[in-house]
Amino acid sequence: MIKTSKRIAEMLLDIKAVTFSFTKPYLYTFVSGIKGPMYCDNRRLISYPNKRRVVVSSVVKIAKKLDFDIVGGVSTAGIPWAALIAERLNKPMIYIRPEAKSYGKKRQIEGDMKKGDRILVIEDLVSTGNSAISAIKAVRRNGGKVSDCIFIFTYDLDAAKKNFQRIRCKMHPLLIFPDLIEVAVTRNYISKKEKEELLKWHKDPKKYWTSI
């Protein structure tokens, strides 16, 4: 059986969800503000039913080993995955905005959640983890409990690991940056030299950016 991480990596590369830019100083800017020579657009996966099912099945396999009452999607990219996973598991669902609305009922969390409910947070991608962590903190402020967060891909940066450790939440990625890069080299999407450039960036993104 093909390892889950390899299969996810192949899917992302096949649909061109992963793009590279090695022409300095033209680099991609992430939501977190970090700049890098690679960008992963997981959102494209929702347009491919077969690939979508692979992702959902992979998340469900992890989720079945965890204790939770409600599936919570991080707005916006985590919402479709949370909906699909909640449906598969026959679980309630909520979603969490980055901040409360300034109109209507001014909610940050949509859906029904009561104090003490255990929420499994679903995010599509993590760089530093700020978006997911903001959602986790919002759930906790509103009386919910969060101990686990599942996401499709992470750049596997030290900053994200430290941020999740700080709030005592376990990370469950389907695919991490080093594994994606290995598959990209094997399938000739990038050269070995470009792989080294990516690993150099990964070791210290801020230093990499200021050195070019």
The string of DSSP codes covering 152-207 is: EEE---HHHHHHHHHTT-EEEEEEEHHHHHHHHHHTTSS-HHHHHHHHHHHH-HHH
What token pair was written down for 180? Answer: 């994606």
Torsion over CA of 40, 36, 22 and 197, rounded to 10 degrees? Answer: -100
**Is 12 annotated in some ligand binding site?**
no
Q: Do 147 and 170 form a contact (C-beta atoms < 8 A)? A: yes
Hey, how many other C-beta atoms are within 10 angstroms of the C-beta on 4?
A: 17
% the chain with pLDDT above 90? 83
**Is 125 annotated in some ligand binding site?**
yes
- Encode pLDDT of 156-195 as tens digits: 999 999 999 999 999 999 999 999 999 999 999 999 999 9
Beta strands 70-74 and 35-36: pairing type? unpaired
Q: How far is CA 185 from CA 44, 49, 154, 177, 179, in A?
A: 22, 26, 18, 13, 10
pLDDT computed for residue 108 by the predictor? 94
**Is 123 annotated in some ligand binding site?**
yes
Distance (Å, whole) CA 82 – CA 95? 8
pLDDT computed for residue 67 by the predictor? 98
Q: Kindly report the CA angle at 133 between 129 and 135, in degrees rounded to 5?
A: 125
- Encode pLDDT of 129-155 as tens digits: 999 999 999 999 999 999 999 999 999
- Encode pLDDT of 6-28 as tens digits: 999 999 999 999 999 988 765 78
pLDDT computed for residue 212 by the predictor? 62
**Is 6 annotated in some ligand binding site?**
no
Residue 58 has pLDDT above 70, yes or no: yes
**Is 183 annotated in some ligand binding site?**
no
**Is 23 annotated in some ligand binding site?**
no
**Is 42 annotated in some ligand binding site?**
no
pLDDT computed for residue 26 by the predictor? 56
**Is 130 annotated in some ligand binding site?**
yes
pLDDT computed for residue 102 by the predictor? 63
Identify the CA nearest to 89 among candidates 109, 74, 68, 105. Answer: 68
**Is 128 annotated in some ligand binding site?**
yes
Identify the CA nearest to 109 among candidates 142, 66, 76. Answer: 142
- The mean pLDDT of 53-70, rounded to a whole number, is 98
Residue 1 has pLDDT above 60, yes or no: no
Residue 104 has pLDDT above 60, yes or no: yes
**Is 126 annotated in some ligand binding site?**
yes
Q: How far is CA 141 from CA 13, 22, 34, 135, in A?
A: 38, 42, 28, 10
pTM: 0.94
Domains by residue range for the chain, with CATH: 4-195 (3.40.50.2020)
